Amino acid sequence: MNLDAAYEKYRNVQIRGYIIRKRTETHNERSKKRAFPASESHTHLALECSRSRVVFQMLGIDVVRVRQIDDLFIHGKSMVAQNKVAAWEVVIVAILWNIWLARNRKVFDGQIISVPRVVRQCSETLNLCSMKTDWNTHFP
């Protein structure tokens, strides 16, 4: 094998390696774009977003020290009586549900739901839950 042929093989390997790297980088970039950016993560939506924090604040729940969604449930267990923990979980789920619905209205319908309206919807959701459930039976 002469020097030119060896160099040609070496160049082909380099070029193929470059092409594979570029394809992989392009694929990774496409994957990153499809994934939610940090500002759209579930943690941001529930806890870090200033609008969500105001919703919790207006409902009398302090989430300043809460870093993860699970902490909301743990935080509540230390705040409420043992027999009210299940009710606390329903309240948190209702709040998160309405924050999520407001975000979907913004993203999919272009409607911005005001914070007071989200708070009102949280109350309405809890009222509906109380009508459908005998709270004294399920949450003594």
CA proximity to 52, closest of 68, 44, 77: 44
Quick: pLDDT tens for 86-106: 888 888 999 999 999 999 998
Quick: pLDDT tens for 60-84: 988 888 888 888 888 777 777 888 7
Quick: pLDDT tens for 121-133: 999 998 887 776 6
Beta strands in 1-140 (DSSP E): none
Structural domain boundaries in the chain: 1-35, 38-138
CA distance 52 to 3: 67
DSSP 27-55: HHHHHHHHSPPGGGSHHIIIIISHHHHHH
Q: How confident is the model at residue 18 (pLDDT cuts 50, 70, 90)?
A: low
CA distance 29 to 60: 42
pTM passes above 0.75: no
- CB burial of 112-133 (b: ≥16 within 10 Å; e: otherwise) equals ebebeebbebbeebbeebeeee
